[in-house]
């Protein structure tokens, strides 16, 4: 199956190159310009498709990282390492050590 498709593509390419040799000089210039425009538009579309796929992949990974960061923040907030004063959380690690009265 793949061999037949490849053979068909080679045959079509050879036919186009033969047609290019047969037509006149002005038509050859127009044919070359049209082929160049077609190639550039296909290339532009391929690059656009690649950028969209990458942006979708990065969007999903950033959403996943945000969800993990939120889960971690919720887990840390639920731990009993501090106290709540209204909606302000004060961890025990922020408390100042007792003053040394000896000096």
- Write down how long the chain is: 103
Mean pLDDT value across residues 29-38: 94
Which phi and psi angles does 82 have, rounded to 5°? -160, -160
* Distance from C-alpha of 42 to C-alpha of 30, rounded to nearest angstrom: 18
Give the helix ranges, DSSP H, for 23-101.
25-78
Q: Which helix (H) or strand (E) holds 2?
A: helix 2-22
C-alpha distances (whole Å) from 44 to each of 38, 89, 96 are 10, 52, 61
Confidence band, pLDDT 50/70/90 cuts, at residue 92: confident
Q: Which helix (H) or strand (E) holds 91?
A: strand 88-91
Q: Which of 15-29, 53-67, 82-96 has the lowest mean pLDDT?
A: 82-96
Mean pLDDT value across residues 81-90: 78
Confidence band, pLDDT 50/70/90 cuts, at residue 56: confident
How much of the chain exceeds pLDDT 70, in percent?
95
């Amino acid at each position: 199956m793949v061999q037949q498709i490849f053979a068909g593509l080679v045959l079509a390419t050879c036919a186009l190159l033969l047609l290019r040799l047969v037509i006149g000089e002005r038509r050859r210039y127009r044919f070359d310009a049209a082929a160049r425009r077609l190639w550039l538009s296909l290339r532009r579309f391929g690059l656009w498709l690649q950028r969209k796929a990458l942006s979708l992949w990065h969007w999903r990974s950033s959403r996943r990282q945000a969800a993990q960061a939120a889960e971690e923040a919720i887990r840390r907030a639920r731990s009993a390492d501090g106290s709540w004063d209204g909606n302000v959380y004060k961890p025990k690690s922020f408390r100042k050590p007792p003053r040394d009265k000896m000096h």
